[in-house]
Amino acid sequence: MPELPEVQTIVSDLKKVLPKLKIRDVWCDFKKMIKQPESFAQFKKMVIGKKFLDVKRKGKNILINLSENKTLLIHQKMTGHMLYGKIDPQDRFIHLVFTLSNGKHLALSDIRKFAKVLICETDRLDTLKDIKDIGPDPLDKTFTFKKFKEIFSKKKGVIKNGLMKQEIIAGIGNIYANEILWEAGIHPFKKIQKIKKEEFEKIYKAIKKILKQGVRMRGDSVVDYRDAFGKKGRYQNFHKAYQKEGEKCSKNDGGIIKRIKETGRSAFFCPKHQKL
């Protein structure tokens, strides 16, 4: 499931190959994924002939900046991922394909069809809910401890849910939330209001450390994530908590990783060193 490191990997890949190429054609077999403009015919008209200028990320959103003041926003949701290169026409999970001026393709593969795509005027991007209603990016230089603590100390609920709320902080999903809290030594269900300053410091450091590590490993392919060239990431080999239920905590503290389901999501943690 693409979270910040997976999205960042795709964005870096695409940034290397897309700029200066043009869109020759576009094909789609699941038009529902296109949220804006209204019809696929309009979408097609808006992108054909446009040139790729830049590729960016905001939270889990991929922003592909095109010529003539257009930006493609892509959210990969659970199983979506962008692919660049020669696309296998037999691949039934590919639902959107751009044919590029160099003869290659840019495609969106998505088993579960949750991904969404939209076009926005570049200078109106900030008016989009997807952009304006999300919190700061945890890897941004301006995301300081002061800012982190300031944002979180106002929030209610438990820490793991807070970390996963995009309107508070943008980019963290279930895998990294579990890993961050394992690293920080904080129980996933600890109430935000009960978290002390030193604990906030540990969480802050863990956010930076774990997300950077995820980026370095080119993402987490525990399910079906691939980079823009179809290669797996490596972060799944470094999980300490996520999907480690029943295993010994790698801190060797005698804890056995426990799993608790709440509101559809699994929390994984070590009951020994992650205290409430």
**Dist. CA 153–CA 196, nearest whole Å:** 10
Alpha-carbon distance of 81 to 228, in angstroms, equals 7
Type of residue found at 43: F
Q: Which amino acid is at 156?
A: K
DSSP letter (8 states) at residue 162:
H
Nearer to DNA, 24 or 238 (CB): 238
For DNA, the closer of residues 50 and 233 by Cβ is 233
- Interface residues with DNA (CB under 7 A) are 1, 3, 32, 59-60, 75, 77-78, 92, 111-114, 129-130, 156-157, 164, 166, 173-175, 242, 261, 263-266
- Shorter beta-carbon distance to DNA: residue 23 or 220: 220
Catalytic, out of 2, 5, 138, 188: 2
Q: Which residue has the tokens 């070590």?
A: 270
In the residue annotation, 216 being an active-site residue is answered as no
CB of 271 to DNA, least distance (A): 18
Q: What is the closest distance, in whole angstroms, from the C-beta atom of residue 110 to DNA in the complex?
A: 9
- Name the 3-class secondary structure at 268: strand
Measured from the CB of residue 48, what is the shortest distance to DNA in angstroms?
Answer: 25
Q: Give the C-alpha distances (Å, rounded to integers) separating 60 from 50, 134, 268.
A: 24, 10, 22
Spatial separation of the C-alpha atoms in residues 82 and 109, rounded to whole Å = 6
Q: Are strands 116-121 and 34-36 parallel, antiparallel or unpaired?
A: parallel
Tokens of 32: 């529902």
The active-site residue out of 50, 60, 226, 258 is 60
Taking the complex as a whole, the smallest distance from the CB of residue 177 to DNA amounts, in Å, to 7
Q: Residues with Cβ < 8 Å from 103, sequence gap 6 or more?
A: none
Residue closer to DNA, measured from CB, 144 or 193: 193
The Cα 152–Cα 201 span in angstroms is 12
60: annotated active-site residue = yes
- The one catalytic residue in 56, 212, 265, 272 is 265
Cβ proximity to DNA: between 140 and 253 the closer is: 140
Rounded Cα distance between 238 and 224, Å, is 16
Nearer to DNA, 99 or 221 (CB): 221
Q: Which helix (H) or strand (E) holds 84?
A: strand 80-85
- Cis, bond preceding 37 (omega within 30 deg of 0): yes
31 belongs to the catalytic site: no
Q: Nearest approach, Cβ of 15 to DNA (angstroms)?
A: 21
Question: Is 147 tagged catalytic?
Answer: no
- 3-state SS class at 19: coil
CB of 16 to DNA, least distance (A): 24
Catalytic residues: 2-3, 60, 265
